[in-house]
Copies of this chain bind each other. A is one copy, B any other.
Amino acid sequence: MMGICLDEVRRQGTLVHNITNYVTVNDVANMLLACGGSPIMSDEAEDVEDITSICNGLNINIGTLNSRTIEAMFLAGKKAKGLGHAVLLDPVGAGASTLRTETALKLMKEISFDVIRGNISEIKTLAHGSGSTKGVDADVADAVTEENLDEAVAFVKAFAAKTGCIAAVTGAIDLVSDGSDCYVIRNGRPEMGRITGTGCQLSGMMTAFAAANRELKLEAAAAAVCAMGLAGEIGWKHMREGEGNATYRNRIIDALYNMDGKMLEKGAKYEVR
């Protein structure tokens, strides 16, 4: 099923509108192209409704939000939902500032997101309506581990059920749930945490997967997570002596570029709880 989700993005050439941060936007665009989609970026209120209308999905990432782009997020989100597009929220830094937390919560109130993807700290903040995070990375104390896995699965299921979204909490172990089932995913490598933007890239790709597979919401989101982690594993195998996080970033995108449905089926490591 996961292989089909990737193949559909390639077949459809899914066009994704991104309102995303300027830190990792180039990698988001290249990752969307690597997985067979096509990116367009626009964050101006006067522009976003037109742009999102010609797309299949919308990726809202609040990583470098400002008053101008926040307005665009609401306009684009409502327009995209009205057109039946897949809409994803990446609440970067929710819990790290009042503006981020409140913007994310208000977006959730006014836009019925198809998918919300973040780290455990961010999702906890959204679940509790407040929180604290160590910048844009998850609190170490909050990491999902084998020890607290049952508790974490229950939390993500409850969050998905309450919000009506597919909830994706990514970290060393990734959890993706629709409220009933929860994919527990063990692809990826710890070195991915030393690259900026792997989460943002995943959000862009996940929007494409969701948009291209509207009948397979949970599977599509889980497939994107597996694809990203598997790309991290494959990319790492190509690392040579002296290479580090900058080259690794490219090798991960390259790995997605060369991945097909069969490779994803074979490499995906998950269980459903």
Contact = CB atoms under 8 A, between A and B. Distances in A.
A65 B93 contact: no
A162 interface: no
B66 A44 contact: yes
A65 to B, nearest CB: 6
B54 A96 contact: yes
B249 A246 contact: yes
Interface in A198-238: 234, 237-238
A51 interface: yes
A33 B134 contact: no
Contacts of A21: 41
Q: How many copies does the complex hold?
A: 3
Interface of A: 15, 21-27, 29-30, 33-34, 38-44, 46-47, 50-51, 54-55, 63-68, 93, 96-100, 132-137, 194-197, 234, 237-238, 242-247, 249-258
B33 A196 contact: yes
Contact of A33 (B67, B68, B245, B250): B245
A23 B27 contact: no
A251 B93 CA distance: 29
Contacts of A98: 50
Contacts of A24: 26, 29
A79 to B, nearest CB: 12
A18 to B, nearest CB: 9
B65 A47 contact: yes
Given A66-B68, A134-B54, A250-B250, A42 B97 contact: yes
Contact of A254 (B51, B196, B243): B243
User: Which one of A22, A27, A30 has the highest number of Cβ atoms from chain B below 10 Å of its Cβ?
Assistant: A30
Contact of A135 (B15, B194, B245, B258): B15
